[in-house]
Structure 1
Amino acid sequence: MLQTLLRTTAPARRFAFQPAACLRTLTTAASEPPSQTQTPATTSAAKPATKAPYLVGRTPSNNLPVYQLTKRGGNYKLTVVKKVDGDKQALRHDMAQEFGMDIEDVRVKTVTGHLELKGFLAPKVTEFLEKKGF
């Protein structure tokens, strides 16, 4: 009897879970068309730099998702970049060019969408991504 009384008088717990809305947009061209008063020669010189065709998201703690892993008993060192959206191959080529690596040393995992770089390069990769504006 006491249990039924407690059940009826106890407030029901309700959890208000609202997923975070995250809108991601990728732009590859200038957002404003050139004005009519400019000549074609000045338009190409004044054209702003295009944004990268890829986007690297942040973790819930607002850090870049760059991790270092060891495999094969500690002999195989990897740097992994997660949360990559857009053109992963373009990011692969940019990173290989930036760090002076062969293109084979930077891989795109097709199932997970992660990038793997040979070696412990987390500080360099973090600096590169921050310089790009991520």
Structure 2
Amino acid sequence: MAVPSPLLAFLRPLGLPCSATVRHFLRFSQNTRSSVEGAVPRESISVSATVPVPSLASTSTSNSPPTKVPKAPSPSEAFESQSQSGLKPTVTTPTQIMLPYHISRTPSAQLPFYLLRKRGGNLHQTRVKGIAGDINVLRTDIQRFLNLPEKEVTINRTTNHIICKGHWRSQLTEWAKQRGF
């Protein structure tokens, strides 16, 4: 039969912790100096008596009254003055309004036209990304602009990209800028 362990065995005295454990916990304590070491006489901290005390009186000799500082307009007044006179509406071209598609720019403010080289560099393609709206109309507009046959400008329906056969990035960039993108 097994001998039962004493009930209060967990209260047995333990050895001292190793020095690394003590250092680990003591490194977070703040070091304080004893008052004897850090005591500094008050005379050395205070300003010497030879330094003149600044006076509150003004040194200006002019007796003229101070000039008025112009009052800053309230935020509502400033907004009304800007909205009525200084700001002009932006001029939009009719092509920007009537196009059924939009090509958004990249986060670095560039147009999303990319050159691809596939099959060891023999297949050159241009990819148009960031298209919103009617992608079919954009495809036909690009096809007409580049004078390419219908099967050389394709739409990837999964990614919503238009892929053109050949390197047309510079021409497409100029075309998109003319249309206001």
Shorter-chain TM-score category? 0.5 to 0.7
Q: Which residue of 1 aligns with 2:152?
A: 105
| Residue number among 103, 107, 110 corresponding to 1:56 in the alignment | 103
Task: Give ranges in structure 2 of 5+ residues lacking alignment.
Answer: 1-24, 30-93
Q: Which residue of 2 aligns with 1:32?
A: none
Question: Aligned to 1:104, what secondary structure does the other structure show?
Answer: helix
Q: Which residue of 2 aligns with 1:78?
A: 125
Question: 1:93 and 2:140 equivalent?
Answer: yes
Change in 2 beyond 3 A, CA 1:77/1:53: same
Q: Which residue of 2 aligns with 1:117?
A: 164
Deviation at 1:130, TM superposition (A): 0.8
Percent of aligned pairs with the same amino acid: 37
Q: Which residue of 1 aligns with 2:179?
A: 132
* Distance in 2 between residues matched to 1:53 and 1:117, nearest whole Å: 20
Change in 2 beyond 3 A, CA 1:86/1:2: farther
Aligned residues of 1:92 and 1:103 also touching (Cα < 8 A): no
* Distance in 2 between residues matched to 1:104 and 1:51, nearest whole Å: 27
Letter in 1 for 2:98: K
Deviation at 1:111, TM superposition (A): 0.5
Task: Give ranges in structure 1 of 5+ residues lacking alignment.
Answer: 7-47
Instruction: Tell me the TM-score normalised to structure 2 length.
Output: 0.48
Instruction: Tell me the TM-score normalised to structure 1 length.
Output: 0.64
- Structure 1: 4+ residue segments shifted above 2 A: none
What do you get for the CA RMSD once the two structures are aligned?
1.8
